[in-house]
A = this chain, B = another copy of it.
């Protein structure tokens, strides 16, 4: 199913601004922040409001037609760091964060991806999201 069909399927209209944004993302090699999409539209001679860019991206994200890419900077919630390499699990209920180590577990995957893509991988970002034991209980109580 094409993205146009998915849009319509979900009850949205196929509009000019949405076409423009999709076209720009489609031609982009690197991930684009909203302002970059806006600028590119201007360069291409398209008339497109910045607000529409925000709205369109939010919609496309909701429909899973685009994905977010996270850079190291720009996501500013901070936790204390223990020495050494760690990853985090974040509870969707209470935002509690727990560290865990497990770099080795990524080694196989890293090697495979390096081989397949030719990239030289030197860093990674791994986080799990879920419910902590307390929030699991809270949910269980609410249901029962």
**Chain A residues packing against B (C-beta within 8 Å):** 22, 25-26, 28-34, 37, 57, 60-61, 64-81, 83, 86, 88-92, 94-98, 100, 102, 105-106, 108-110, 112-114, 116-133, 136
| Cβ contact within 8 Å between B109 and A105 | yes
Asked if B81 and A77 make an inter-chain contact with CB atoms under 8 angstroms apart, the answer reads no
A66 to B86, CA, bound (A): 12
- A123 touching B130 by the CB < 8 A rule? yes
Tell me how far the C-beta of A4 lies from the nearest C-beta in chain B, rounded to whole angstroms.
Answer: 14
Copies in the complex: 2
> Are A71 and B67 within 8 A (Cβ)?
no
CB distance from A142 to the nearest CB of B (A): 15
Bound form: Cα–Cα A102–B110 in Å: 10
Q: Report the minimum CB–CB distance from A67 to chain B (whole Å).
A: 4
Complex: A41 Cα to B74 Cα, angstroms = 23
> A61: which B residues are within 8 A, CB to CB?
78
Given contacts A64-B81, A65-B81, A68-B75, contact A125 B122 (CB under 8 A): no
Q: What residues on B are CB-neighbors of A108 within 8 Å?
A: 105
Please indicate the chain B residues that have their CB under 8 angstroms from the CB of A116 in the complex.
Answer: 100
Among the listed B73, B119, B124, B128, which residue makes an inter-chain contact with A121, where contact means beta carbons less than 8 Å apart? Answer: B128
Q: Which of B29, B31, B120, B124 contacts A77 (CB 8 A)?
A: B31
Some 13 contacts from A to B, beta carbons below 8 A apart, are: A32-B79, A33-B76, A61-B78, A67-B81, A68-B72, A72-B129, A74-B77, A89-B117, A92-B122, A113-B128, A118-B133, A122-B129, A123-B130
